[in-house]
Amino acid sequence: LSPHKTVTALSPMYGSRFGYALSNGTVGVYDKTARYWRIKSKSQAMSIHAFDLNSDGVCELITGWSSGKVDARSDRTGEVIFKDNFASSIAGVVEGDYRMDGTTQLICCSIDGEVRGYLPGGEEMKGNLMDTSAEQDLIRELSQKKQNLLLELRNYEENAKVPLKRCVGPKHTFLGRGTVQTSQSCNLLGCREIVCWGFLLLHLACSFCKFLTCFLYLNKEHFRASLACQSSCVWSWILFSAVIWLMTANCNFRCINQLGGQGGFTQFHVFELTRQLPRFSMYALSSPDPATEPLSFVKYTTNERPQRIVMWLNQSFLLPEDAEFQSAPFQVCFTSLRNGGQLYIKIKPGGEISINTDDIDLAGDIVQSMASFLAIEDLQVEADFPAYLEELQKVLVKVDEHHSVDQRLTADMAERSNLIRSMLVQAEDARLLRDMKNMKTRYSELYDLNRDLINQYKIRCNNHTELLNNLKAVNQAIQRAGQLRVGKPKTQVISACREAIRSSNFNMLIRIMRVGAAAP
C-alpha cells in the first residue's frame, strides 16, 4: 500500500486476500503481502465489499464510487464483470436478505436514498455478467486484426529502408528434404552459419509434414526410448527454440541467400504451421514377432474392401510410407511408445479383421475409429481378454463377499439395537426402584454394547466403500465390453451384462463380454 495515501476502506475476501481503497481513488486486492492488482480512478471509492455476484464460488470486489458508479471486479485480475450507475454518489454497499425470502442480495444505497438490490447470477451466466453483444465482439475482433495488420505493414516499411547486402560468407545449399550441403570453409559452430540449420528444421517442418516419423524410426534404440513419451512436444520445442534463437542471438542473415532470403534485416517473422497428428501416433511400426504376439484379440467380419481398411490404417497411424494392400492375409505390427505393448492388425481372407492387443481400451478405440471411418452402424464382434477377464472374476468374487458381509453386519447390528433397547429399559427400571448397583451394572453393559456397535458400524462403512469401488470396476468393465461393439450390439451387451449382475450370474456375464448378447 502507498505510504503517502490514506486507507479509506478494507474488506476481507477469500482466504488471506483482502481488498482496499485509498483516498486518491485507488482500489486493489492483496494476498498477504503480494499485490494481485490495483486500479486508479478519478472518482473516490466510497465503499467496498466482497460478494460472489456471478456465482462462481469466489467473491468479487464490489466498489461504490463517488460518481455513482458501482462495479464488480475479479479478485485475481481486476477485470470488470458487472457495473451499474446511480444518479448520485454511493453511500454504502452491504449484503443481506432484503426481501426476507432466504436469499442474500447485494444492496447498494446512494446519498439520495436510492436503494438497489442485486441477486447473484445463475449458472447459465457462466461467470460473465457484462452486457456484450455479438456486434461489439465482432468490432473488437476486427480492431485487433487491424492493429496486427498495421504492425506487420510497419515492419515491412522498416525492412524496405534497410539497404540489401549480398551474402559473402560460406554457402549452404539444400539438396532436398532433410539434406544440406556445406562447403569445407563453413564453420557450423559459428553464429551466422547455424542459421542455416535453423532454416533446415523449418524447411523440414513445412515441406515434410511427417517430420516426426523421421525420429520415430531411427535405428538407434536409445534415441527412440528418449522420446517414448511426448515426442511431438520435444520436436516442437526443438523447432520453436531454433526460431527463437535466431530472433534473440542478434545474428545477421548472411547465409540464407540460397533459400531466397535477404541479409541485414532487423525485423523477423515467425511462420506457424499446424499439423494434426494421427489418433494413434504413439504406436510405432515394428517387425512382427510370434513370440510376443498378444493372446487377447477382437475379431469380426465385414464386407468392406480391404483397401478401405488400409486407407484407415494410413490415416490413423504414423507410417514411414503409406501401406498398400496386396493380398490376404495382410498384417501390420505396432509397438506402443508408452509401455512397449504390442498391437497386431490382421486382414484375413473372407473379410475377417483381427485386432490383437492386451489393452482392452486400445482395442475399443480402434474398433470405434475404424467403424466411424467405414461408416459401420452396427458391428458385432467376438472378443477375448484372458488376463483382464481373470481379474474381473476376482473382483466379482469380492463383490459377492462384500454383499455377504454387509448382510451379516446388518443383521448383527439390528440384533444389538434390540438388545440396547432392552438394557435401557432395565437400567431405567433399576433407577426408579433405587437399585443403584443393578443400574450401574446395566449402564456399564450398555456402554460396552454401544462401543461394539460403533466399531461394527465403522467396519460396515469400510466394507461398503470397498464394495462401491469393486462395483465401479465392474461397471467400467461393462462399458469397455460395450466399447468393443457398435450400434445395437453395443446397447444389447451393456443391458445383458447389467441383467447378469442383477441376477448374480457371473458366468453369463463373462460369456456376454466375450461373444456378445443375442438379439431379443
Contact call for residues 445 and 423 (beta carbons, < 8 A): yes
Residue in this structure with the C-alpha cell 468490432, named with its chain if needed: 139
Residue in this structure with the C-alpha cell 483397401, named with its chain if needed: 307
Q: Is 83 exposed, middle or buried (0-12, 13-18, 19+ CB in 10 A)?
A: middle
pLDDT value, residue 274: 76
Separation of alpha carbons 511 and 489, rounded Å: 14
Residue 284: HSE in the Cβ half-sphere, 13 Å Cα cutoff = 22
Residues 106-113: contacts with CB under 8 Å, at least 24 apart: 106/49, 106/51, 106/53, 106/62, 108/62, 108/64, 108/70, 108/84, 110/68, 110/86, 112/86, 112/87, 112/88
Task: List residues bridging with 418 in a β-sheet.
Answer: none
Residue 31 grid cell: 494476498
Q: Taking Cα atoms as reference points, which of 519, 500, 517, 520 lies closest to residue 381?
A: 517
pLDDT value, residue 102: 78
Distances (CA, A) of 470 to 127, 226, 359, 483: 38, 37, 20, 20
Phi, then psi, of 256 in degrees rounded to 5? -120, 15
Category of 481 on φ-ψ map: left (φ > 0), alpha (ψ -120 to 50) or beta: alpha
Q: Which pTM value belongs to this model?
A: 0.50
pLDDT value, residue 410: 86
Distances (CA, A) of 273 to 77, 111, 151: 32, 59, 21
Which pLDDT tens digits describe the chain residue by residue (520 residues)? 555 678 999 999 888 899 999 999 999 999 988 888 999 989 999 999 999 888 888 889 999 999 999 999 988 888 888 889 999 999 999 998 888 787 889 999 999 989 999 888 776 555 555 554 556 667 778 888 888 888 888 877 877 765 544 444 444 433 333 333 433 334 433 434 444 444 445 444 444 433 343 333 333 333 333 333 444 444 454 555 554 444 444 433 333 333 334 445 555 566 667 777 888 989 999 988 888 889 999 999 988 888 899 999 999 998 888 888 777 788 899 999 988 999 999 998 888 999 999 999 999 999 999 999 999 999 999 999 999 999 999 999 998 898 888 888 888 888 888 888 888 898 889 889 888 888 999 889 888 888 888 888 899 899 989 999 999 999 999 999 999 999 999 999 999 999 998 888 888 999 999 988 764 4
The full DSSP string for 233-258 is: HHHHHHHHHHHHHHHHTT----S-GG
pLDDT value, residue 275: 73
